[in-house]
Amino acid sequence: MERADKAVLRLATGLALAVLLAYGLALSSPFVLCVMTVLMLSKPGPPMPLLKGMVVALLIAAVLAAGVLMVPLLEHYASVAMLLTALLLYTVFFIGLQSGSPLANIVAIAFTLVPVAGVADQALVPAISTAIALGLGVGVLVGSLSHALFPDGADPAARPALPAVAAHTARWRAVQATLVVMPVLVLALVNPAFYLSAIIKSVLLGQQAGATGARSAGRILVGSTLAGAGMATLAWFGLAMLPTLWMLVLWMAAAALWSGARIFGLEASALPPSFWSNALVTMLILLGPAIEDSVVGKDVGHASLVRVSLFVALALYAWAVVWALEGWRAARALRLRRVNKQQDV
C-alpha cells in the first residue's frame, strides 16, 4: 500500500469516526468536530505523532482560553477587541505561511469561533471547545494508529519539502487572509447563529487567497465553494433515501475517499490539493446546518440556498481582495522601478 493510499484511508476513516461521534452523541454544532478532523488529516506528509498531537492540543486549549477572555472585551470594547483580533489573525496566518503548517487554520478557526459563540450564548463556548478538542483528538488518534499499524517507512521517491515562503511574501499573504476574515467576523458579532459556519469558510478562503494568484483566484476560490455545494447536495439526496446515522457515516466516508484521492494525488487533477480539501470542508459546513435545520423543522432548501449564496459571495469578496492587493502591489513595484531608473540616470 502506497503512502497516498494510506493517507486517503486515514482521511475517510477519521471523518467517518468524527461523524459517528458528533452526530451519535448529538453534540452542539457537530460539523465543527468533523471540520477539525478533516483539517488534521488532509495535511500533506506523515501523520502527526501522538506526543506532538498532545502538545498541539495544549496549544489549542490555550487559544480557546484566550478566546474566552476576548468575550467581555468584545462586549464592552468592541473596537479594541477587533483590532487585537486582526493583529492576532495576521500573526497566525504569517506563522502558518512561514512554517507551512496547516495547524494555522485550526488555530485561526478556534480563536474566532469561541469569542463569537460566547457573545451569542455562553453555553455555546464549552460545546464549541469540546467539538474542537474531539476533532483534534480523532485526527491525531487515527493518524497515530494508522502509522503504528501500517508504517510508511522510507520513501526515496517522496517529494522534497516545499521551501519556506519569503518573509515579504508571507506578510502580503497574511494581510490578504486577515482582510478576508475580518468582515465576516464583524457580521458574526451581529448575528452569531447565522454566521458561525461562515467564519470557518472565511478562514479557509483567507488561507486559499494567500496561496493563490489573481489570475487563478476566481476559479479556485469560487470553484471550490461550488464543488462543496454540489457534494453537499448529492449527500443530502442520498440521505433522503435512507436517513439514518450509519448512512450519513457512509456518505461522508465516500466523500472523503473521492476528494482524498485528489488531495493526495491518487487521481490526476489540474486543481491544487487545497481546492479539494476546502471543497470537502465546504460540504461539511453546508450539510451539517442543513441536518440541524431538518431536525427542528426549518425550511432546509431555503436556508441552504441562503448559505450557499453567502459562501459564494464570500468567495467573490476574497477574489476581489486578491485582485485589489495584487494590482496595488504591482503598481507600487512599477513606481519603485521607475524611480530607481530616474535616479540611475
Q: What is the mean pLDDT of each run of 10 residues along the chain (345 residues)?
A: 83 91 86 88 74 75 74 83 89 83 80 81 77 81 74 52 65 88 86 80 82 72 92 93 93 94 87 90 93 86 91 90 83 78 69
CA distance 220 to 215: 10
- List all residues 6 or more positions away from 1 whose beta carbon is below 8 Å from its beta carbon: 150
Which CA distances in Å does 335 have to 60, 215, 238? Answer: 43, 22, 56
Handedness of CA 178, 140, 130, 62 (dihedral sign): negative
The pLDDT assigned to 213 comes to 64
| pLDDT value, residue 238 | 92
Q: What is the largest distance, in Å, between two alpha-carbon atoms of the chain?
A: 76
Decide: 38 and 281 in contact? Cβ < 8 Å. Answer: yes
Residue 75 C-alpha cell reads as 462586549
Quote the cell numbers at residue 159.
Answer: 517529494
Q: How deeply is 141 buried, as exposed, middle or buried, from its count of CB atoms within 10 A (0-12, 13-18, 19+)?
A: middle
Residue type, 102: P
d(CA 275, CA 15): 18
Cα–Cα distance, 152 to 283 (Å, whole number) = 30
pLDDT for the residue 248: 95
pLDDT at residue 161 in the model? 47
**CA 163 vs CA 97, 141, 247: distances in Å:** 11, 29, 42
pTM as predicted: 0.86
- Neighbouring residues of 301: CB distance < 8 A, sequence distance ≥ 6: none
SS percent in the chain: helix, strand, coil, step 5: 85, 0, 15
Residue positions counted in the chain: 345
The answer to whether the beta carbons of residues 229 and 286 sit under 8 Å apart is: yes
CB atoms < 10 A from the CB of 327, how many? 11
pLDDT at 159: 46
- The predicted pLDDT at position 117 comes to 80
pLDDT at 157: 47
CA distance readout (Å), 141 to 28, 135, 138, 210: 22, 10, 5, 30
User: Cβ distance 93 to 104 under 8 Å?
Assistant: yes
Q: What is residue 104's predicted lDDT score, i.e. its pLDDT? A: 81
CB 59 within 8 A of CB 158: no
Residue 59: the pLDDT is 75
The predicted pLDDT at position 1 comes to: 64
With CA atoms as reference, report the closest residue to 240 among 306, 303, 301: 301
Residue 242: CB atoms within 10 A of its CB come to: 11
Q: What is the pLDDT of residue 215?
A: 67
